[in-house]
Structure 1
């Protein structure tokens, strides 16, 4: 036994300098993978956005280079990097080498960055620390300043040269470090998505994206929304929406708690109703709130409350009808909110949700009051909205009722008139628990029936080798009693449009009676062939069951290895060799495992049916085209291909072939 490691006063240590980010990037960026690397880009971009929002520069250019480096350039005032007498240090040290240092802590009204996306003074420094290198160029006060960092350390000194022309702004170019992130190949789609979103919520600012597609060759695209979210909602809704887009804006002042200081919130919402599209997006201080938070809760509360009130006041509900829900409203709503506040509580540094209580309260009241006025002033549109929301509600309720009825029906026994011979059902009415074992022959039926858990395991025997469904036409397939019985037991119908399937229900995954469809055959050549034929049938008639992962193969052991009073089961020759190696020097007995019909119930339960000990292989083809090709080669009409395949690979299986 190894000596236990001591845990004393000398065991405690702290990360310093760049190691605070390089060794724990997930703390700052939310991930050490590609998502974290992408968030680092947004940290730098957000500083440029804050400058542009303050009226300093109207163009921000982002470049994606072929070597995975990224460049962000703005036309702002230029990041201060020279000597800071107050701090007795250079500003570049504070900005790029000091976490929690920056110019956005004094967010009082009238100060710089009243509505700032970056508040914590982390982004520039953390990104620099996480980079293989970073080059910073600043133009301000008539000078060009340049800095070069490598792996979190300054290389050389701050250079300062006079400018021959008037220019201000900041340019960052950096290469994310593979020692920090597991992946740095940020796709072009990330940049286009982020820049488009920023153009939406920063009206009148041009976001230019340059993507290097070859050495020195760039493809350029630009994103600009002159009227911000109003133009965006009109674009999302397209032509033929139920109502024209409206834009509401207001400012509120308040606090998250009575003892907390007040702050200001600027609220902006554009929305319309449509029976073609439904999209809802929330932004705060330019950051897309992928996970919503306060604005999402406000929208749900305000829209449901206002529409429900209108429906009640105008007698739109039927007698004893339940009220509308958010799902009914959301299904026909196109809404984009873009709010700004002087104090923001993000869920975490990645800024994907906010938790401000006052923002939620202010936005709820703001939306509810605007909706009430809108319904009064736009009676025709209000009627269309009410009608569509009620259609959504009643459709949802009908669908839910039908789903529950179907589930109840499918959870019960198969109707006596359609009872399938020798099919053995289970007792459970819960479709999510029910399993059907498709077994080989009547003898296996008896053995499996004694071994199963009758609460949730049903059995369907197939007699002999069923029809090859790749070679046969549909007329022949649906004359096969074995196949039609099996389809009836599954309950989901078939994915076939043909005159021969008039007695078969059309496919509906919701009608499937089972959570698992398990093919259970002997572990010999005949068993493999029967398994393949059943899989072929499912592949041709109900491919969705395979694609969605409902079909499984139950592995049955090939060998029973006995040593004393203990028995091991080997599912392959390789496993047999491994077990014998472990038992080397002991007296062992190796028997070829019997067929399913010859196994005793305890062994069947242990090896094939007990969820704790059985081995199930989920049939989940990753490439449907490749699966179709192999099925056709082995079982279809491709005779020349099959001959070539046997000629090239047949020697591998001579020992398994049943040749006398």
Structure 2
């Protein structure tokens, strides 16, 4: 029998990690991961500090620069980090903010009423996880500077300010000795701001970690929507420098920092004028900055000190400035034809919260405090089945939602169900049928919404702030949504009656579609040959067991169907005939679509449901091929079918399952030595070219060239060789962009709105080109 040996355990086995060493030991506790996600989270922490200055009314511009050496810089024209000495630690405010966990101005109630960074660890954590961090502060007419290595203050032996690097020699400040801020220049007395530049530490972040430019642009864009009037500039130096001729124009107008050239400027709202672009946005209580004539460098209004003599220019500079708030944000997020205008819900309510407050001596004491909860929501429905809900607390996105989103959805669901019950007869809803109940998914289909709240000291679930946990917010948002949205959806608010009717019809249509899709799934999946009996009688199905290569031809007309039956390979090719032009789904509700025999047959035969309930893994055919005549009517039928697929079976287009057959227009019969051979052409221009080519080569042919008016004029061999046999046919795969363009043009030319269609026809009357249409 063995006896386990227990090692001694005493105080000498304990380790005490001081300062920021704990952050470097367990970085995941503070930034989630040490891959690209964590790297981007560090950048968000620094940007959010500048945005908090804007929320406090003290900042109008932020500049984010991705330097070519891998470092990142965030500059603002806010108040600047305090440079005086904090009495408890005897350190300057800059050193306290960047080296002490849970230190900052956001634990009190005076400096920030609504801020994104609340735990007091953001800047200090970024500092701890950086191989080098430099901070510059403009205050009191001076520019202050301090440097850090892996969170420890000290001095780098840089050759000059333009060649800073974490590789340069570093001398750490002696332990226990306060680090004095270095004064490196002068600015106008009115100039204030903070610049933080840091190099992420490769000892912390793994080799795959990298900055995502697109994530940065998305974050900056959403912030510009949420803080109206705040201008944010993103400069990417990781692109080869260029001398853009337009650079001087931007410098003269002070639009951008003079060291940058513009290739793309995004985000200007329609309300923004050239005057807005050329001058800083005025914020109450913030003085404009004037250049100091004695200073060899000038201030550009963003908090950056720029050397006008440098002459450097970069191709990728993007600016963002919005004035319409969440309403503009919803408009940006919306895709597809709108069912309603953008509706807004806003207001403010107070709530009481038990919290810990810091007194004058720095001690914490519990007590009840009164808080303000400011709610700002914008929403609209669009034709489609995607749901887009973006939620924010103090401009920090909460991807996991939380109490504010729960309250919003609770209020919307309650009022929609009540409105449906009140209008049951008009909407043709049988309230006695237990299945005819609106579910939340029906309401969310096609909904685009931005839900924002601003509160002091919000409670998040974790440092990464994914979910809002402040409980009193839910009933506030719910009550506000219940009251204001209720007036809109009931149509009692002036100007909303017609819109609310369209929204309710769409939601009820989605409810019917969900119920119908459930029934369709039960009867359309082909597990054996007997199940084909549940399919439409006009379907000529293929043999079972070939789902991975099966093809469904949607054939126009009975005559073409007869030829196609003889031309197909029944082992894997199925045929579904349609009678002429199907329903214009652009104008129809889901109820009308499911009631239409042609549309419902297509959805049923494909067997994967429709709309939000569509399941791509359940499709019965690998390819769906639209086989119509090569004329104007055939083109019209294809675009009608394409609109049906785009609106209700969209994943089939996204993943490349939709095709258009390309039947020939002409057949040239060769004679002489090549008698019995045929050449097919697909356009009048191609026919003319081939005839000239044959004449030039001395090949004889029958001058009576056959022109096909429709697929039914071909015999089975001709149709198989040219259009159906995979070995010799030509197919055109429909891509997502083609579908989007087709849907947009179809909405314009066939939709309910007449003035845009008339304007389009008038504007393009002189540009008619026969090559742009099928003939």
Q: Normalising by structure 1, report the TM-score.
A: 0.63
Supply the distance in 1 between the matched residues of 2:418 and 2:328 (Cα, whole angstroms): 30
Matching residue of 2:514: 396
Matching residue of 1:55: 57
Supply the distance in 2 between the matched residues of 1:86 and 1:31 (Cα, whole angstroms): 33
Matching residue of 2:767: none
Q: Would you say the 8 A contact 1:68–1:185 is kept in 2?
A: no
Instruction: Return the offset for 1:136.
Output: 0.3
Q: Would you say the 8 A contact 1:68–1:186 is kept in 2?
A: no
Q: Would you say the 8 A contact 2:336–2:382 is kept in 1?
A: no
Deviations 1:461-512 (A, max 9, x none): xxxxxxxxxxxxxxxxxxxxxxx99x62365661475842456466766558
Q: 1:204 pairs with 210, 219, 229, which one?
A: 229
Pairing 1:217-616 to 2, within 5 Å after superposition: 217-218=313-314, 219-237=316-334, 240-255=337-352, 261-276=369-384, 278-315=387-424, 316=427, 317-321=429-433, 322-374=436-488, 375=490, 376-377=492-493, 378-406=496-524, 410=527, 415=530, 488-489=544-545, 494-495=550-551, 499-502=567-570, 504=572, 510-511=617-618
Supply the distance in 1 between the matched residues of 2:187 and 2:198 (Cα, whole angstroms): 26
Deviations 1:91-113 (A, max 9, x none): 22211110000011013xxx111
Q: 1:214 pairs with 240, 249, 260, which one?
A: 240
Supply the distance in 1 between the matched residues of 2:391 and 2:212 (Cα, whole angstroms): 24
Q: Does 1:160 align with 2:269?
A: no
Supply the distance in 2 between the matched residues of 1:392 and 1:257 (Cα, whole angstroms): 44
Q: Would you say the 8 A contact 1:332–1:389 is kept in 2?
A: no
Deviations 1:311-330 (A, max 9, x none): 11122322424321111111
Pairing 1:97-176 to 2, within 5 Å after superposition: 97-107=99-109, 111-156=110-155, 157-161=180-184, 163-166=186-189, 167-176=191-200
Instruction: Return the offset for 1:161.
Output: 4.7
Name the SS of the counterpart of 1:80 in structure 2.
coil
Name the SS of the counterpart of 1:292 in structure 2.
coil
Matching residue of 2:93: 91
Supply the distance in 2 between the matched residues of 1:9 and 1:87 (Cα, whole angstroms): 29
Q: Would you say the 8 A contact 1:491–1:511 is kept in 2?
A: no
Name the SS of the counterpart of 2:322 in structure 1.
coil
Supply the distance in 1 between the matched residues of 2:210 and 2:485 (Cα, whole angstroms): 45
Q: Would you say the 8 A contact 1:206–1:223 is kept in 2?
A: yes
Matching residue of 2:737: none
Q: Would you say the 8 A contact 2:393–2:454 is kept in 1?
A: yes
Instruction: Return the offset for 1:256.
Output: 5.9
Q: Per the alignment, do residues 27 and 417 of structure 1 end up closer, same or farther by CA in structure 2, a change over 3 Å counting?
A: closer
Unaligned residue ranges in structure 2 (runs of 5+): 156-179, 242-311, 356-366, 534-540, 554-563, 575-605, 608-615, 621-651, 657-726, 729-775
RMSD: 3.1
Instruction: Return the offset for 1:185.
Output: 1.9
Q: 2:36 pairs with 31, 34, 37, which one?
A: 34
Supply the distance in 1 between the matched residues of 2:617 and 2:215 (Cα, whole angstroms): 36
Q: Would you say the 8 A contact 1:62–1:72 is kept in 2?
A: yes
Moved more, 256-265 or 177-186: 256-265
Unaligned residue ranges in structure 1 (runs of 5+): 419-483, 514-543, 549-635, 638-660
Q: Per the alignment, do residues 250 and 414 of structure 1 end up closer, same or farther by CA in structure 2, a change over 3 Å counting?
A: same
Q: Would you say the 8 A contact 2:50–2:59 is kept in 1?
A: no
Q: Per the alignment, do residues 511 and 255 of structure 1 end up closer, same or farther by CA in structure 2, a change over 3 Å counting?
A: same
Q: Would you say the 8 A contact 1:269–1:338 is kept in 2?
A: yes
Deviations 1:230-275 (A, max 9, x none): 1122233368411111222101111467985432110001111211
Supply the distance in 2 between the matched residues of 1:417 and 1:365 (Cα, whole angstroms): 52
Name the SS of the counterpart of 1:489 in structure 2.
coil
Supply the distance in 1 between the matched residues of 2:75 and 2:532 (Cα, whole angstroms): 75
Q: Would you say the 8 A contact 2:343–2:380 is kept in 1?
A: yes
Instruction: Return the offset for 1:301.
Output: 1.2
Name the SS of the counterpart of 1:232 in structure 2.
helix
Matching residue of 1:188: 213
Supply the distance in 2 between the matched residues of 1:299 and 1:404 (Cα, whole angstroms): 35
Q: Would you say the 8 A contact 1:263–1:343 is kept in 2?
A: no
Q: Would you say the 8 A contact 1:406–1:511 is kept in 2?
A: no
Supply the distance in 2 between the matched residues of 1:493 and 1:405 (Cα, whole angstroms): 22
Deviations 1:136-179 (A, max 9, x none): 00001222110111122112352025624231100000011111
Q: Per the alignment, do residues 396 and 115 of structure 1 end up closer, same or farther by CA in structure 2, a change over 3 Å counting?
A: same
Q: Per the alignment, do residues 257 and 112 of structure 1 end up closer, same or farther by CA in structure 2, a change over 3 Å counting?
A: closer
Supply the distance in 1 between the matched residues of 2:185 and 2:132 (Cα, whole angstroms): 25
Matching residue of 1:463: none
Instruction: Return the offset for 1:343.
Output: 2.8
Q: Would you say the 8 A contact 1:18–1:129 is kept in 2?
A: yes
Instruction: Return the offset for 1:228.
Output: 1.2
Q: Would you say the 8 A contact 2:421–2:431 is kept in 1?
A: no
Q: Would you say the 8 A contact 1:280–1:333 is kept in 2?
A: yes
Supply the distance in 1 between the matched residues of 2:122 and 2:55 (Cα, whole angstroms): 18
Q: Per the alignment, do residues 359 and 417 of structure 1 end up closer, same or farther by CA in structure 2, a change over 3 Å counting?
A: closer
Supply the distance in 2 between the matched residues of 1:270 and 1:496 (Cα, whole angstroms): 43
Supply the distance in 2 between the matched residues of 1:490 and 1:405 (Cα, whole angstroms): 19
Instruction: Return the offset for 1:84.
Output: 2.2
